[in-house]
Structure 1
Amino acid sequence: MTGAGSGIGRSAAAALASVGFAVALIGRRAEPLLETQEAIATGGGKAHVVQADVADAASVEHAFSQIAKTFGRLDVLFNNAGRNAGAVPLEDYEVNFWNDVVATNLTGVYLCAQAAYRLMKAQSPQGGRIINNGSISAHSPRPHTVAYSATKHAVTGITKSIALDGRAFNIACSQIDIGNAATSLTERMNSGVMQANGSMAPEARMDVTHVANAVVHMACLPLDVNILNMTIMATTMPFVGRG
């Protein structure tokens, strides 16, 4: 579980632990991961903190070697780590800003998926499931979000490629596209965010628990069944028909 220190990651980690998964909590900062671990332990679950930067290849390799050593195998990866990029007009984008977004939202997803794929291919019994956190921006962008939207569209390509290549090794790959989960990152939506026509308007949000439950459902499927893509969203948010 990457990005396990807060928000969707913390909620999904707790939900997976509650149904019996032993969860590896991956993230850059130890303190929030330890808070997630404590919350899981309080509920009777098992979790292990693995500090890592998903955008750094050596850090990811080390993290997944720790996972193999600690747990013996890897059955599910929720490839959740990502960063928001804010609204920046295309003409004002700086290349360093672009590279930072790509490093976390795309390269990080690739590196973790690759490391998980290698473990799942080598272990016995062979196989496992990779669940990539996409976004509804993988289908329809918000205004002034070229880097974020580009990376989320690219995650869909990663998901489909792994779903194809993993068939021979009993590795399933899924994507969950999440719209307006109620976390600290989306609090600004209560007061208003930019719409496709340039206006500002508040948007509906959903309890993050529903997202966590959806991840558990995907994770618990037998490997001969796959939800290739799931969209879960606040019913009245402006996604269908956006623009």
Structure 2
Amino acid sequence: MSDKIAVVTGGGTGVGKAITAALVADGHQVVITGRREAVLKDAAAAIDANAVHPFAADVADRAAVARLFAHVEQRFGRLDLLVNNAGVFSPSVPLEELPAEEWNKAVGANLSGSFFCIQEAFRIMKAQTPRGGRIINNGSISATTPRPNSAPYTATKHAITGLTKSASLDGRRFDIAVGQIDIGNAASEMTSKMSGGVMQADGTMRPEPTIDAAHIARAVAYMASLPLDANVLTMTVMANQMPFVGRG
């Protein structure tokens, strides 16, 4: 795995930070990106300042994404792995009450940002020698099953599944492998409220178990370790006791 070059979006906190640490342990040089430069620098210092390289960018901004990947190409000369992890939740309100700006924010961060990053990764991976690379998208279990009052997040994560499949198909002839990891209740800043109660399908509020983000990180590291003639198209890693499988 030595000298592999990776980009992890949303890499400064939570699941993204755990993924970054796992990739560094496997020998990657990792460029982490997010909107808050100070958070990225803190993450790099905490993991390995020689192997983690912060670059502040908002993935919903097409020009910022172009600058990010131009930086990666200029500094390292290639790209072996992209982990599209950045994303945001929307307010838990009835869908008819959701402001348009919240919808647009979710689409920008969760869907458009992943698409923009895939575009730039494809451009580099198709042209480099050796050719090809791997892309792993964070789908979330919301890519298949919604929670109440989660239309923007659920819609964008369902769309990620279609984007993963389309990119996987389009990447085949260029030795680009594209897969998706669907995460259920990984402990992070985004899921910190789950212990206090989460609305269920029947309208009740119940606390839900979470799992250490390190479990997700190991799964991503496994996907990344495969040769490019093998691919995990979809993988679900979830808290075993969470109310996902079955009714209720």
Q: Which TM-score applies when normalising by structure 2?
A: 0.95
C-alpha change, 1:93 and 1:70, in structure 2 (3 Å) is: same
Q: 1:33 aligns with which of 6, 29, 40?
A: 40
Question: Which sits farther off after the overlay, 82-91 or 55-64?
Answer: 82-91
Contact 1:14/1:39 (<8 A) preserved = no
Distance 1:85 1:23 in 2: 28
**Residue equivalent to 1:87:** 92
- Are residue 55 (structure 1) and residue 60 (structure 2) matched? yes
Post-superposition Cα deviations, 1:188-240, rounded to whole Å, max 9, x if no partner, equal 11111100000000111111110010110001110000000000000010111
Corresponding residue pairs, total: 241
2:27 to 8, 20, 23: 20
1:2 counterpart (9, 25, 40): 9
2:189 to 184, 187, 191: 184
Aligned pairs for 1:81-230 (under 5 A) are: 81-230=86-235
What runs of 5+ residues in structure 1 fail to find an aligned partner?
none
Question: What value does the CA root-mean-square deviation take over the aligned residues?
Answer: 1.0
Structure 2: gaps spanning 5 or more residues: 1-7
**Does the 8 A contact of 2:91 with 2:98 survive in 1?**
no
The one-letter code sitting in structure 1 at the alignment partner of 2:39 is P
Deviations 1:80-117 (A, max 9, x none): 00001131101101211111111111100100111111
| Secondary structure of the structure 2 residue equivalent to 1:181 | coil
Q: Would you say the 8 A contact 2:134–2:224 is kept in 1?
A: yes
Q: Give the distance between the partners of 1:242 and 1:97, measured in 2 at CA.
A: 29
Report the CA distance shift for 1:240/1:64 in structure 2 as closer, same or farther (over 3 A). Answer: same
Give the Cα separation in 1 of the matches to 2:52 and 2:76.
10
Q: Which amino acid aligns with 1:224?
A: D
* Deviating 4+ runs (over 3 angstroms): none
Give the aligned residue type for 1:160.
K
Deviation of residue 184 (structure 1)?
Answer: 2.1
Using the alignment, how far apart are the partners of 1:32 and 1:197 within structure 2? 38
Paired residue secondary structure (2:123) = helix
Matched residue SS, 1:182: coil
Mapped to 2, the partners of 1:214 and 1:242 lie a distance apart of 27
Mapped to 1, the partners of 2:33 and 2:200 lie a distance apart of: 34
Q: 1:232 is paired with a residue of what secondary structure?
A: strand
Whole-Å Cα distance in 1 between the matches of residues 52 and 98 of structure 2? Answer: 39
Measure the CA separation in 2 of the matches of 1:222 and 1:39: 29
Whether the aligned pair in 2 keeps the contact of 1:138 and 1:149 (CA below 8 Å) is: yes
What residue identity is the alignment partner of 1:204? Answer: P
Following TM superposition, by how much is the alpha carbon of 1:242 offset from its aligned partner in structure 2, in angstroms? 4.6
Given that 1:140 and 1:242 are in contact with CA atoms closer than 8 Å, whether structure 2 keeps it comes out as: no
Question: In structure 2, the residue corresponding to 1:206 is in which secondary structure?
Answer: coil
Give the letter for the 1:9 counterpart.
G
